[in-house]
Amino acid sequence: MSTPVVSSHPDAPAIGDTRLLIDGERVDAAEGATFDIYNPSTGAVLAQVAEGRKEDIDRAVKAAKRAFEWGPWHDMKPAERAKAIWRLGDLLLEHDAELGGLETLDNGKPFLQAKGGDVVAAAGLFHYMSGWATKIEGSTIPISFPGRFHTYTRREALGVVGLIVPWNFPLTIAAWKCAPALAAGNTIVLKPSEVTPLTALRLGELALEAGIPPGVLNVVPGLGADAGAALTEHPDVAKVSFTGSTATGRAIVRGAVGNLKKVTLELGGKAPNIIMADADVEAAIAGSSDGVFYNQGEACAAASRLFAHRSVYDRVVEGISKAAEAIKVGDGFDPESFIGPLVSKAHHEKVAGYLDLGREQGTVAAGGTYSSEGGWFVKPTVLTDMGDESKVVQEEIFGPVVNVLPFDDTDEVIRRANATPYGLTAGVWTENVGTAHRIAEALQAGTVWVNCYGVFDAAMPYGGFKESGWGREMGGVVLDDYTETKTVCIKVGD
């Protein structure tokens, strides 16, 4: 593949201050360390960012602990907290071009998707969760001693929460975690991915502007094995919420053992997406193409195993191959680009390895090539004629790669769809409502989309079965993961 022509967009935003944000102040890392971040469209260094380490994490946790225990955040009425969280959502929208542009520079994704998708989704989280700040209620419990005890529950904030986020939706996933944490009254140390720290730093600044007091939302970029591990192990952190790879998820669980902090995990996926014989095949092809190729396929929900009933298999292979070939790959600031570069050199090499394996073991129906110099581009790729047991079909590639797999009957496809350690998302395309319900029930996945794919909303819980994680993001249920239930039992009579 020849490297697409890449231009530096004149409207790309200024990168701004890349120091840590602790207790409302921009500060250098204690040891003065920095790390480089890169522009994925060119491979060139984009900026140096302060590299937080153990001491910086400790400073940030101390600030968050102070802010939790006394001061303006501690004393803030829920309605005032709600107002500040809502205002933060507004500020994200007011800065949509800047934030979208930072995401494109840092992650590579198309600017229009970053501005119109990632930023809008992040704002939506703050708006939705602001409403919960005034509605986190306990209950009264009629225990078995009438007239003697009054018993009720309170739902209380946990304290300092450590939020560790990945590079694929840097701002949006930070919002998935920060918004409910704030709504419940917690304070935060946010560690963005070392690959894409820019929008998290801006989020922290905008939170201050929104009226969220200093120390409540601290942002400490740094390396996973250093800053990430220090946050996970910190004894004053009550909970860690993590999104990333399953391997790192296991490391987080081990690291959290010291003080038995609570852990929620949103990990990998290898989503089955099933086109039944009676489906609207054209709609299914279009939805399945977006479902796997959106965001360069760098999505835990990517619909990467496309099961097509044998009666429609050839049409599906032809259709999705045409869709893949029609996709424009290029610089994220080019408005024609639907797919930008992959996020990093290391990730590009990983995806390229799977493409090489796919070429050896199966048939390339579309794409299959990747750039060898300049930016980290990969052509959207359709692979066929591969067995379910292949690494390419089993493992999360996290790139724009789909395997099309034929099947003959419903029980068979359910069995094969469930035959991975993952259980994050799934799709089904059928015109039969009974089939839709039956398959939705049988699939081991946290979200099942029927006749659509990749619909997300702040009100929809999201998370995984099996090795795809613990707990949920978004929706009202996420607040259970950011609160403790306290039971109060008062003697009121003999």
Among all residues, which ones are annotated catalytic?
266, 300
**Cβ-count burial of 126 within 10 angstroms (0-12 exposed, 13-18 middle, 19+ buried)?**
buried
Nearest one of 152, 246, 79, 39 to 487, comparing CA atoms: 152
CB of 168 to ligand TXE, least distance (A): 5
Q: Is 118 in the site for ligand TXE (CB under 6 A)?
A: no
Residue number, 99 or 190, with CB nearest to ligand TXE: 190
- Of 108, 166, 380, 427, the one binding ligand TXE (CB under 6 A) is 166
Is residue 388 helix, strand or coil? coil
What count of residues does the chain have?
A: 494
Nearest one of 262, 177, 187 to 217, comparing CA atoms: 187
Residues contacting residue 299 through CB under 8 Å, at least 6 positions apart: 168, 169, 398, 454
Assign residue 143 a region: left if phi > 0, alpha if psi is -120 to 50, beta otherwise?
Answer: beta
Residues contacting residue 98 through CB under 8 Å, at least 6 positions apart: 13, 202
Nearest one of 179, 172, 238, 236 to 212, comparing CA atoms: 179
Contact between 216 and 190 (Cβ < 8 Å): no
Residue number, 240 or 365, with CB nearest to ligand TXE: 240
Q: Is 296 in the site for ligand TXE (CB under 6 A)?
A: no
Q: Is 162 in the site for ligand TXE (CB under 6 A)?
A: no
**Neighbour-count burial for 11-34, b at 16+ CB within 10 Å, e otherwise:** ebbebeebbbbbbbebbebbeebb
The window from 33-41, 165-173, 455-463, 479-487 that contacts ligand TXE (CB under 6 A) reads: 165-173
Ranges within 66-105 binding ligand TXE (CB under 6 A): none
- The interface mask with ligand TXE, positions 369-398, x = CB under 6 A, is ---------------------------x-x
The window from 25-33, 174-182, 227-235, 310-318 that contacts ligand TXE (CB under 6 A) reads: 227-235
Name the token pair of 106. 């840092």
CB of 302 to ligand TXE, least distance (A): 9
> Which residue of this chain has its Cβ atom nearest to ligand TXE in the complex?
224
- Of 123, 164, 217, 426, the one binding ligand TXE (CB under 6 A) is 164
Q: Is 365 in the site for ligand TXE (CB under 6 A)?
A: no
Q: Is 197 in the site for ligand TXE (CB under 6 A)?
A: no
Residue number, 295 or 321, with CB nearest to ligand TXE: 295
Q: Is 482 in the site for ligand TXE (CB under 6 A)?
A: no
Q: Is 404 in the site for ligand TXE (CB under 6 A)?
A: no
What Rg value do the Cα atoms of the chain yield, rounded?
Answer: 23
Q: Is 257 in the site for ligand TXE (CB under 6 A)?
A: no
Query: Please, which residues bridge with residue 191 across strands?
Result: 164
Residue number, 299 or 448, with CB nearest to ligand TXE: 299
Residues contacting residue 250 through CB under 8 Å, at least 6 positions apart: none
Q: Is 167 in the site for ligand TXE (CB under 6 A)?
A: yes
Q: Is 18 in the site for ligand TXE (CB under 6 A)?
A: no
- Of 34, 134, 153, 245, the one binding ligand TXE (CB under 6 A) is 245
- How many residues bind ligand TXE, per CB under 6 A? 28
Q: Is 228 in the site for ligand TXE (CB under 6 A)?
A: yes
The window from 10-18, 241-249, 384-392, 470-478 that contacts ligand TXE (CB under 6 A) reads: 241-249
Q: 358 vs 317, 319, 355, 401, CA distance in Å?
A: 16, 20, 5, 10
CB of 369 to ligand TXE, least distance (A): 20
Our CA dihedral for 438, 441, 446, 447, rounded to 10 degrees, sits at 30
The window from 42-50, 72-80, 266-274, 306-314 that contacts ligand TXE (CB under 6 A) reads: 266-274
Q: Is 229 in the site for ligand TXE (CB under 6 A)?
A: yes
Assign residue 185 a region: left if phi > 0, alpha if psi is -120 to 50, beta otherwise?
Answer: left
With residue 294 as reference, give the H or E element that holds it.
none
Residues that bind ligand TXE (CB under 6 A): 164-168, 191, 193-194, 224-225, 228-229, 232, 243-245, 248, 251-252, 255, 266-268, 300, 347, 350, 396, 398
